[in-house]
Amino acid sequence: MRPNLYQAIYPARVAHVDLENAYVLVSLEELADLADHEPSAVERHWAEYIAKRRVHQPAFRGMVLKAYDTQCTVCRFKHAELLDAAHITADSEATGDAVVTNGMAMCKIHHAAYDRDFLGVTPDYTIKINTDLLNEVDGPMLKHGLQEMHNLQIQPPVRSSERPSKERLAARFAAFSAR
């Protein structure tokens, strides 16, 4: 667009890598089949980058998983390495405190569905699935992993002081319902 200001155009692919002269050729042609693309030596290398992560995240996750007895509140899955601490009020919001009552233990699929408003939780702990998703026909993960969860209850922590905040759930569910 002008020196040092570029606009990305998709699809694009690396068509040629010239290591000796330190340049790459990018092709903007339609790719007939990405499966036929052989990655170049450069594409196969690892790149390092700096990522921002809130310092409290590991402690928040630990507190939430402990409160939920290391199981997904939606499906009861119990493998800690596949569980997350899902925020009710987003961590990026000013009121997105790292407290147990602002979190729910969820497996990776339910956490992603919750964050993208495919799954909601009412203030009385009822699971709701997005109407479009309920009407969709797909494979067993959709049917058993999401659609069958509709109208079931989450499994909240035993201690009432660790249960999800009904106020936070109400605000989050209102946003889910508005979509």
Segment 69-114, tens digit of pLDDT:
999 999 999 999 999 999 999 998 999 999 999 999 999 999 999 9
Segment 27-40, tens digit of pLDDT:
766 555 555 666 66
Give the global pTM: 0.74
Distances in Å between the Cα of 73 and the Cα atoms of 23, 53, 55, 137, 178 are 50, 24, 25, 25, 23
The Cβ of residue 161 has, within 10 Å, a number of other Cβ atoms equal to: 8
Q: Which residue has the higher pLDDT, 24 or 175?
A: 175
Domain boundaries, the chain: 57-177
